[in-house]
Amino acid sequence: MFTLKDLKPGQKACVGSIAVEGLMRRKLMDMGVTPGVEIEVNKTAPFGDPIEVRLRGYALSLRKKDAANILMVQ
Amino acid sequence: MKFKVALAGNPNSGKTTLFNCLTGSNLYVGNWPGVTVEKKEGDLKNTSEKITLVDLPGIYSLAPYSMDEIVSRNFLLEERPDLIINIIDASNIERNLYLTTQLMELDCPMVGALNMMDVVQKKGVEIDVDALEKLFGFPFVEISAQQETGIDDLIKMVGRIVKNDKKQEFPKIFPEQINEIFKEFENLLQNKFPNVLPDYPRIFRAVKLIEKDDEVLSKIDDCSILLEDIEKTRKKIEVFSGNDVDSAIADYRYRFITATINMATRKTKENTQQFQEQLDKVLMNRYAALPIFFLFMFIIYYVSITLVGQVTIGGITWFIKDVLIVNIAAGLGSIGAADWIIALINDGIITGVGAVLTFVPQLMALFFFISILEDSGYMARVAFIMDRIFRHFGLSGKSFIPMVVGLGCSVPGIMATRTLENERERKLTAVLTPFISCGAKMPIYILMASVFFTTNQTLLVFSLYLISLIVVFSSGFILSKTWFKGADSGYLLEIPPFRLPKIKNTLTQVWERIKEFLVRAGTIIFAASVVLWFLQNFTLGFQMVQSADESILATFGKVIAPIFVPLGFGNWMASVALLTGIAAKEMIISTLSVLTAGQAGGLTLAISQIFTPVSAYSFVIFILLASPCMAALATMRKELGNWRDFFFAVVYQLGLAYMISLIIYQVGSRIFI
């Protein structure tokens, strides 16, 4: 069991389920973070948080706190 | 017949640039999520039909998370446009088509504008437009708003479809079983709840109710029985999809999109965006990112204030003082005009308006750089870098964007807070944005710097911006724990690719902003200069004054001046300047010019007599931090939404400005005597 937060820059995996609550959950889905989508981690911000990921052909940034609630599968 | 066409699309899809292409009008354009904060209208050019184009704020979905999304959605639902032009960033087609699948549920004819085709071709991707049309049920046109290609085809297409009564057939996005569940629910609505939002498009209504959309539910008086039925329907979807309703619906949309893209696009060559990656590596480097940002800001201010200033200020001042005023005095004198008319024109109007116009080249340079920062995509990256810091102060990285816009003018800055989803963060950012010094305040700094701090002009101005940053952070920290208490909304931000700003867009933006500045110089400042001149040259008994101290203005200024004595600028002229500054910040400098006109040595000498270096610094700090001009105050009131928060904000801004200036003067004057 690992989460999006555990991925290092350059690594990729598919979304298993999204355990984020409330508004952020729906926003994530609107932005294309849905079960099964492949996400690659691009980089971490200079101060260590947030992270930038690449999915569906574009770059999205989110906080580690939320990334820790996105469960991934290989 | 006049048609109404809406332009809808994702933030960053080039919507405003396309709007400018389609209407020929000049609008505000920027390359970060959420520039268009209000809907704008224009007439479609090059067409025989009468078509009004409405530019909606950029949105990612029709869910009502932010005010932008609510504005767009309400427009589409309530005003019912005759056609929607859905602009799609074709270089980011998958995510952009998500909104498309939602717009299709509004039961309105659509045209798809595949924008940024030049970028797509460079990436080595081919899009089969006919296949897309077959799959989506409405036509697409390939365009590039930046290169201005395909625009005529798009206009022709819009003109043709807007007249056509034939209904477009949109495909079913969801699997058959889900559609059955929708249909069942839809029938139930019609039979059991005929009064529930009967004017809404059918599919949209069903989907939004099933999603338990807050905005839609809030429009229904009593929905307790309806909610039971909604729950039953949600259960069915969950059982079928094996997912919860939210992820199931989003997932089905994206599955449809992925399937269509696989059929309609083809990669012709492998492409790596090496330059983008290299640039990102440098600008977002762990150690260098923040220094690079401050270096950029320093260069911007050094070039616009010091370099441009050196070239232009002397020349403009010479022209106004030695050419314009001298010749007008001579010319009017020779035709026998009264002395007071010459004084009014020269000491009142030309001095007042001229004081503002002197700084136009410097402001142009400043606006030029800000506009490039906005269009290049760097701004979203700075928000990304800053989020970690801003979070500690009750804000998110996104709060940074309104603040950078506020460097130009607080009004669009405060308006840009609408892209923030969280009400608490939005209000807090709106209250803090005026602390960021706007362009109109800059002339005052330059003037004071040129009188008192000649050797370190850029450094002085830079120190002001640093102080404003410190005030923003500490105020954010304090207010987020007191007045604007609450949970944080989180942070989710698209990082757009770097784009080379189009010079035409940049110049348009500079012109738009300078135009506003010039209009104000020609209206408010013109009128106020005349009024000021009269108030300054007449006594309360409406007699021409013998010395400036007897004027109406002086009498009034002397009443309020004592308030500012502890801050070091208890001079009545400084007090009056602060008051007129409420109308527009440029007025401060115009007022000082008008009030000191006619004195030997001019403005510079007069200022060096009124102020000491320390009181001058205390004066600019007060101007920097005290409540903004009327226009910004009105915008702040509108965005805060209630008088209570507004009065708090004004009292806070004034109180803080007074306190900090007090400390600076009291401490400074003891150190530097």
pLDDT tens per residue, range B318-359? 888 888 888 988 999 898 888 888 888 888 888 878 877 877
Contact B566/A at CB under 8 A: no
Inter-chain CB proximity B94 and A57 less than 8 Å: yes
CA distance B242 to chain A (A): 11
Counting one residue from chain A and one from chain B, the pairs whose CB atoms sit within 8 A come to 107
Per-residue pLDDT at B216 exceeds 70: yes
Q: What is the pLDDT of residues B400-431, one digit of tens each?
A: 878 887 887 787 788 778 777 777 888 999 99
Distance CA B447, CA B7 (A): 45
Per-residue pLDDT at B135 exceeds 90: yes
Inter-chain CB proximity A56 and B254 less than 8 Å: yes
Residue B614 labeled ligand binder: no
What Rg value do the Cα atoms of chain B yield, rounded?
29
Domain boundaries, chain B: 2-163, 176-267, 291-671
Inter-chain CB proximity B388 and A34 less than 8 Å: no
Contact B279/A at CB under 8 A: no
Nearest Cβ partner for B247 among A35, A56, A60:
A35
Compute CA distances B167 → B75, B162, B451, whole Å. Answer: 21, 11, 70
CA distance B592 to chain A (A): 45
Which stretch of B206-215, B411-420, B527-536 has the lowest confidence by average pLDDT?
B411-420
- Classify burial at B542, counting beta carbons within 10 Å of its beta carbon; exposed 0-12, middle 13-18, buried 19 or more: exposed
Residue B352 labeled ligand binder: no
What tokens were used for B61?
């979905």
Q: Scan for tokens 């080039």, then name that residue.
A: B14
Q: What integer is the mean pLDDT of B562-583?
A: 87
Nearest Cβ partner for B63 among A30, A43, A61:
A30
What is the CATH number assigned to the segment(s) B2-163?
3.40.50.300
Inter-chain CB proximity A50 and B65 less than 8 Å: no
Q: What integer is the mean pLDDT of B185-205?
A: 87
CA distance A48 to chain B (A): 8
Range of the structural domain that residue A41 is part of: 2-73
Contact B25/A at CB under 8 A: no
Contact B489/A at CB under 8 A: yes
Better pLDDT: B31 or B458: B458
Which helix (H) or strand (E) element contains residue B527? helix B524-537
Q: What integer is the mean pLDDT of B285-290?
A: 87
Check: CB of residue B611 under 8 Å from CB of residue B448.
yes
Pick the CATH number of B176-267 from 1.10.530.10, 1.10.1740.10, 1.20.1250.20, 1.10.287.1770: 1.10.287.1770
Nearest Cβ partner for A29 among B246, B494, B497:
B246
pLDDT for the residue B423: 79
Inter-chain CB proximity B287 and A62 less than 8 Å: no
Check: CB of residue B390 under 8 Å from CB of residue B399.
yes
CATH number of domain containing A20: 2.30.30.90
Q: What is the pLDDT of residues B532-554, one digit of tens each?
A: 788 888 888 777 777 767 788 88
Helix (H, G, I), strand (E, B) or coil at A44: strand
Better pLDDT: B131 or B526: B131
Q: Which of B295, B587, B632, B630 is nearest to B432 (CA)?
A: B632
How many CA atoms lie within 13 Å of B47's alpha carbon, on the beta-carbon side?
26
Instruction: pLDDT band for B37, please (50, 70, 90 cuts).
Output: very low
Check: CB of residue B636 under 8 Å from CB of residue B430.
yes
Distance CA B96, CA B86 (A): 10
Distance CA B342, CA B329 (A): 6
What is the four-CA torsion angle of B378, B384, B387, B388, rounded to 10 degrees? -120
Q: Which of B511, B500, B276 is nearest to B375 (CA)?
A: B500
Residues of A in contact with B60 (CB under 8 A): 30-31
Q: What integer is the mean pLDDT of B174-179?
A: 92
Per-residue pLDDT at B5 exceeds 90: yes
Which of A15, A34, A65 is the best mutation test for B, with the most CBs of B within 10 A? A34
CA distance B401 to chain A (A): 15
Which stretch of B233-237, B535-539, B658-662 has the lowest confidence by average pLDDT?
B535-539
pLDDT for the residue B300: 82
Inter-chain CB proximity B254 and A47 less than 8 Å: no
Inter-chain CB proximity B254 and A62 less than 8 Å: no
Helix (H, G, I), strand (E, B) or coil at B490: coil
Q: Scan for tokens 């924008």, then name that residue.
A: B115
pLDDT for the residue B34: 43
Residue B191 labeled ligand binder: no
pLDDT for the residue B404: 81
Check: CB of residue B411 under 8 Å from CB of residue B463.
no
Better pLDDT: B359 or B664: B664
Residues of B in contact with A47 (CB under 8 A): 385, 388-389
ipTM of the complex: 0.95
Instruction: pLDDT band for B26, please (50, 70, 90 cuts).
Output: low
Alpha helices in B62-150 (DSSP H): 67-74, 93-103, 117-123, 129-136
Inter-chain CB proximity A50 and B491 less than 8 Å: yes
pLDDT for the residue B33: 42
Which helix (H) or strand (E) element contains residue B440? none
Which stretch of B270-284, B286-300, B608-622 has the lowest confidence by average pLDDT?
B270-284
Inter-chain CB proximity A23 and B489 less than 8 Å: yes
Backbone φ and ψ of B136, nearest 5°: -100, -20
Task: Determine the residue of chain B that is closest to A22 in CA distance.
Answer: B489
Inter-chain CB proximity B421 and A23 less than 8 Å: yes
Distance CA B301, CA B366 (A): 7
Residue B331 labeled ligand binder: no
Inter-chain CB proximity A63 and B497 less than 8 Å: no
Between the two ends of chain A, the Cα-to-Cα distance in Å is: 10
Task: Determine the residue of chain A that is closest to B10 in CA distance.
Answer: A31
How far out from the chain centre does Cα A37 lie?
10
Per-residue pLDDT at B673 exceeds 70: no
Compute CA distances B364 → B370, B371, B516, B522, whole Å. Answer: 10, 10, 12, 17
Instruction: pLDDT band for B272, please (50, 70, 90 cuts).
Output: low
Mean pLDDT over all residues of chain B?
A: 85
Per-residue pLDDT at B642 exceeds 60: yes
Residue B14 labeled ligand binder: yes
Interface of B with A in 244-263 (CB under 8 A): 246-247, 250-251, 254
Residue B486 labeled ligand binder: no
What tokens were used for B197?
């939002």
Check: CB of residue B32 under 8 Å from CB of residue B401.
yes
Compute CA distances B441 → B183, B221, B298, B586, B588, whole Å. Answer: 60, 50, 17, 7, 9
Length of chain B: 673
Q: Scan for tokens 């939404």, then name that residue.
A: B641
CA distance B613 to chain A (A): 39
Q: What is the pLDDT of residues A9-65, one digit of tens each?
A: 999 999 998 998 888 898 999 999 999 899 999 999 988 889 999 999 999 999 999
Between the two ends of chain B, the Cα-to-Cα distance in Å is: 75
Inter-chain CB proximity B243 and A30 less than 8 Å: no
Distance CA B660, CA B467 (A): 10
The count of domains in chain A is: 1
pLDDT > 70 fraction of chain B, expressed in percent and rounded: 96
Alpha helices in B193-273 (DSSP H): 202-210, 214-217, 224-241, 245-264
pLDDT for the residue B157: 93
Number of C-beta neighbours around residue B638 at 10 A: 12
Contact B276/A at CB under 8 A: no
Number of C-beta neighbours around residue B668 at 10 A: 17
Residue B58 labeled ligand binder: yes
Q: What is the pLDDT of residues B423-437, one digit of tens each?
A: 788 899 999 999 998
- Contacts of residue B616, defined as CB under 8 A and 6 or more positions apart, other chains included, come to B448, B451, B452, B607
Q: Using H for helix, E for strand and C for coil, what is the string for B417-471?
A: HHHCCCHHHHHHHHHHHHHCCCHHHHHHHHHHHHHHCHHHHHHHHHHHHHHHHHH
Residues of B in contact with A25 (CB under 8 A): 246
pLDDT for the residue B91: 92
Distance CA B549, CA B555 (A): 7
Interface of B with A in 100-129 (CB under 8 A): none
Per-residue pLDDT at B209 exceeds 80: yes
Residues of A in contact with B283 (CB under 8 A): none
How far out from the chain centre does Cα B630 lie?
17
What Rg value do the Cα atoms of chain A yield, rounded?
11
Q: Using H for helix, E for strand and C for coil, what is the string for B25-87?
A: CCCCCCCCCCCCCCCEEEECCCCCCEEEEEECCCCCCCCCCCHHHHHHHHHHHHHCCCEEEEE
Distance CA B160, CA B374 (A): 36
pLDDT for the residue B39: 59
Residues of B in contact with A45 (CB under 8 A): 284, 384-385, 387-388
Task: Determine the residue of chain A that is closest to B491 in CA distance.
Answer: A62
What is the four-CA torsion angle of A37, A41, A45, A48, rounded to 10 degrees? 100
Inter-chain CB proximity A66 and B490 less than 8 Å: yes
